[in-house]
Amino acid sequence: MVLLFFVVTLRKKKNYAIKIIDFVRDITEEELESELAELDVYRETDSPFIVKFFGVYEKDSSLLIAMEYCSGGSICDIYEYCKLTFNEKQISAVCFCVLKGLEHLHGKNITHRDIKGANILLTQAGVAKITDFGVSKITEKDNKMQTMVGSPYWMAPEVISQGSYDNLADIWSLGITCIEMAEGGPPRGEQTPLRVLRMIPALPPPTFKDPTKWSKDFQDFLSKCLQTKAGNRSVCKELLKHPFIRNSKKLYKKELKSLVLSTISDVTSQKREALQKKNGGICGSSPEKKRNDGEFIIYNAVHFS
């Protein structure tokens, strides 16, 4: 059993997300390995574009993992709960942040392997941050990976069919995430995951349903991410210089602050309602019913089993 709490420290008045792994309750060996592997990756990272890891603490029979709290929710939350898609400036701002985060990861021989809207969080300060390193991989330089992991709709062709791949698989996933932001879901989202796994290596790269809605710069950026042959994709350094991304270096915070300000209320309330429904009406305490636990004020407890 894994629990996620939002807490505020009483002394410093800082917000944290606390993930609690309870060893007394049921937790599979696979889940534990994933959590520990994720910690190994977080220890290697130090970037303003990656969710910050503060430390691991033992308390009784539990492991407490302290993470940065990103109050704006995820990219997926925006279109799922607010029924909104992203405009080009917002997509460019998110892509700038993600590319900076990936540039840091790839420089440390870390491949995320699950870039998608649900794993990109937004802060009220206007920054998009990469999170969830449960299937990420640290490799030796120039070594390739062989395990097929990730989320089917965002998987690169070589991850599915070729048996070996490198960090350029993350670039493909970013391209799919661009379509996800633009259209409110990944391409081929109406298909079953198994069918999509067959389609991705066999068909040309996906594109927008209506390309005329989008600028030539955006379409060109997308094409540089979504190349079937991994070696033809641009790397992070090249994509950060692309005309679609260049201006976001100065403007990304403005665009994302405005987005979070307009959506945070709906995202927070509707996400809480969805979690309560998912957990049979039990989703921990509401913000009005906070619990003082000595050092912390503890808000919403979310159960993941």
Q: What is the CATH number of the domain that holds 190?
A: 1.10.510.10
Token pair 């079953």 in the structure block, residue? 192
User: By percentage, how much of the chain surpasses pLDDT 70?
Assistant: 85
282 belongs to a structural domain: yes
Q: What are the residues whose beta carbons fall under 8 Å from the beta carbon of 188, sequence distance 6 or more? A: 153, 196, 199, 206
Can you give the pLDDT at residue 100? 98
Are 301 and 4 in contact by the 8 Å Cβ rule? The answer is yes
Domain membership of residue 22 as a residue range? 2-71+267-304
pLDDT at position 9 over 70: no
Instruction: Give the full edge-to-edge strand order of the sheet including 15-22.
Output: 53-59, 62-68, 15-22, 2-9, 296-304, 291-292
pLDDT at position 65 over 70: yes
pLDDT 10s digits, 198-251: 999 999 999 999 999 999 999 999 999 999 999 999 999 999 999 999 999 999
Tally of CB atoms within 10 A around 35: 17
pLDDT band at residue 171 under the 50/70/90 scheme: very high
pLDDT band at residue 287 under the 50/70/90 scheme: very low
The mean pLDDT of 6-28, rounded to a whole number, is 67
pLDDT band at residue 12 under the 50/70/90 scheme: low
Is residue 234 classed as helix, strand or coil in its secondary structure? coil
Can you give the pLDDT at residue 140? 80
Round to whole Å and give the CA distance between 172 and 241.
Answer: 17
Question: Do 145 and 163 sit in the same domain of this protein?
Answer: yes
CA dihedral over 186, 188, 190, 193, signed as positive or negative:
negative
Question: Do 27 and 166 sit in the same domain of this protein?
Answer: no
Question: Do 162 and 228 sit in the same domain of this protein?
Answer: yes
Can you give the pLDDT at residue 253? 96
Residue 231's φ and ψ, nearest 5 degrees, are -65, -15
Question: Do 63 and 142 sit in the same domain of this protein?
Answer: no
Question: Do 50 and 100 sit in the same domain of this protein?
Answer: no
Question: Do 113 and 187 sit in the same domain of this protein?
Answer: yes
286 belongs to a structural domain: yes
Round to whole Å and give the CA distance between 121 and 70.
Answer: 6
Round to whole Å and give the CA distance between 29 and 47.
Answer: 30
Name the residue with higher pLDDT: 125 or 138: 125
pLDDT 10s digits, 86-135: 999 999 999 999 999 999 999 999 999 999 999 999 999 999 999 999 89
Round to whole Å and give the CA distance between 177 and 80.
Answer: 14
Q: Which tokens sit at 80?
A: 């799922």
Are 287 and 8 in contact by the 8 Å Cβ rule? The answer is no
User: By percentage, how much of the chain surpasses pLDDT 90?
Assistant: 61
Question: Do 252 and 276 sit in the same domain of this protein?
Answer: no
Task: Confirm whether 293 is a catalytic residue.
Answer: no
Can you give the pLDDT at residue 10? 41
Question: Do 247 and 142 sit in the same domain of this protein?
Answer: yes
Tell me which of 77, 114, 132, 170 is the catalytic residue.
Answer: 114
Residues in the chain: 305
Total domains, the chain: 2
161 belongs to a structural domain: yes
262 belongs to a structural domain: no
Question: Do 112 and 22 sit in the same domain of this protein?
Answer: no
Can you give the pLDDT at residue 294? 44
Question: Do 150 and 224 sit in the same domain of this protein?
Answer: yes
